[in-house]
Structure 1
Amino acid sequence: MAPIKTEEGKIVASPLERLKYLKLKLISLKATLSPNHPDIKRLEKEIKALEAQVGNVDNIQEKIKELNHLKTKFADLKSRLGPKHPDVIKLAKKIKALENEMSKTNSTKTNSTKESAFIEPDNPAYINLLTQISSIDVQIKSLEQRKDEIKKKIEEYQKKLENIPLVEKTYNLLLSDYENTRRKYNELMDKLMEAKIAQELEESQRGERFVIIDPPLVPQKPVKPKRLAITFIGFVLALGAGIACLAFMEYIDHSIKSSEEVQELINIPLYISIPYIETEEEKRRQKKKQLLFILCIGLIIILALILFHFFVMPLDIFWIKLQRKISRIFI
């Protein structure tokens, strides 16, 4: 019987190894071919012949190794080609067929299968995946611990936020007590300083007692500013400014206001002159102007009295002083 070369390049020559390899290959072909396919029939006949030669062999460990190898290859192909690639789908069927074949074993063989599942793998890709999985598990545990710590901190901050009004109230009470205590402390320090000064004066016998004979005199009237002079000067300046304004307006006014001015202007004697006749509307307008003028004068007087009351002298005091001066003049 000619030796067989496996997909990994390993040569299988002994009948026992050949039987194990053919059983695994049969499981792989059943996943992709129909049970009546010639290749499957040929493999089944060859397996029966080898079993008659070497007996029934339980290759559970080889199946586990093959399953691990197929799963590693499946993960690699799926990451590179995607889950819908034909090779990936074909490999998934092989894995499922091998798992179904392994599940058909009896319970005693299942126990031995579980024990043999802990055989240390020798595939570098599988070992790399196991390392990555364990690293990810460690990261997950670390993140979960970090999550628990953050939750605890959030709960602590929530409790602190709930206690802020109470803390603020207590702080305000403490601040008020602090201000009162500080004020009392300053008063006591001032008294202590005065007592020390008095004690030093008594000890050095340089202290003298001062007795106030006459109380300080309060001024009866202000020395300055001289409000009367300021008022008089303002009155004179206002009167002069008014007269100057009238003279200036009269000077620039070239209108004719009488018949004499007309006669002087044209040097012709006038026989008759018609005076200006006011209409009723003009009379009403003139009365309104007079009324507004009177109101303005009244408002100016009231404003002057208010300013005099607040900035110069209260009106009641001014009235009393005025009465006294008038009585002195006439008596």
Structure 2
Amino acid sequence: MVNENVGFLKPDQLIEIILRRRWFLIIPFCISMLIGIYLALFLPKSYEASTLILIEVQRVSTDYVRSIVSSDIDARINTISQQILSRTNLEKVIKQYNLFSEEKNGKMLLIDKVEMMRKKIIIDVTRGGRSSSGGADSFSITYSGKSPEDVMNVVNTLASHFIDENLKVREEQASGTSDFLEGELFSMRKKLEEVEETMKDYRRKYMGELPEQLDSNLRILDRLQEQMLDRQTRLRDAQTRFSLLTNTINVSQKSVVSSEGTSDIHQLNEQLNALTAKYTDRHPDVIRLKKTIASLKAQGVKSEKSTEIDSARGTFADNQSLVEIKQEVNMINKETAELQSQIDLYKSRVENTPKHEQELMSLRRDYTNIQESYSSLLRRKLEAEIAVNMEKKQQGERFRVIDYARLPEKTTSPDMTKLFFIIMVFGLGLGCGIVYLLEYMDTSFRRSADIESYLGISVIAEVPSIKFPNDLKRDRVHLSATIAFLFISCALFVSFFVVTIIGVEKLKQIINL
């Protein structure tokens, strides 16, 4: 009886139990190997292939050519991924390699196949340290499927699409930037020409009142004022000479008139004196002569005035000096009026200059800003054209495949290594468990020590087992069967090891070699 000492077996006892219970170890092990081989061969398998794509920086130094394409690698990879994983692109790949053509997928819609394929594609971006921005250095494309050839072809096709699409996106982005700058440059050129024309019109409209003409206007104004002073001085001189000449003529005319009137009155007075010596004041002749003298005196005053005027008029008209002076005065007055008009004009120009200066400063400021913007756009346009040429020659940042996808040699699902160890543990554990259970339930005594420990008495002698010819024959059959099953177990183990650890595809390659 061993159930009490089953946990304290000696090596010889353990070997004896293994030999005695060998079939409970071999058969479960063989069965587990068969189950493992069946699972390894007939379980739905999934193969996985991947490729690594390196993001290379532009070959031309950025000190000479600066790329105009967005430097956000992560965003560009995400954009290209959306394009690569689009329904249209995946449909082409599915039709190209006849994916999901198994019988069970016969009724599956194309859009469902696309969605299933999209879920099996993994794009993993590796953040790198070669750039200060911490952007992506590389990324991998992984695809899983049931056919090793298909997954390899799909991954390489997607990698090729990634490279081509990146070149296309970069060239389109560079060309788009160049076209945009061309449009902005054209618009800015029109604005610049409009401002230039506005400044020309403004200068033409306010010619003479411009800030740069202020000094000239001030000098002209000073000269005009000096000329005005000179004309005023000449006018005063002419007027003075005219007055003096007029007064001289008046004095001479008055002296002539007064001398003639005085002579007549003097004669009448002498006659009156002679009459008064003879007659009284009441004498008619004396009265008449007094009246005549009085009348003559009165007429003398009037005729003196009229004669003075007529004489002056005639004299003025006939005097050449007065005519010349009058002409000179008129000419000076005309020149003075013209000078005053010019002075008013230049005063107006000088007074308007500050206002026009402010307006011109505003126009110049606008012109300068637009000109700077135009120059900046022109410089960027030239840089964009160089960048476009760089992208067309594939000298800019690009994707390069480092490791192309290879034919998968092992499955990713199920995990054959795990399956191998699980089946091994299951087969051996099942056999050992059965043996342990049988030994635990076995109440027979197979060794003298069992009897002594159980009954507490000593065994005097042991009778060995007596083998008859039939027993020996049966033992040989059992031995042969055991050896045969051991070989079968080894063959099953090797087969299971090959299909799980080495892999069927690798085995095919070895056989083909």
> TM range, normalised to the smaller chain?
under 0.3
Question: TM-score, normalised on structure 1?
Answer: 0.28
Greater RCO, CA 8 A, separation 6+: 2
Question: TM-score, normalised on structure 2?
Answer: 0.19
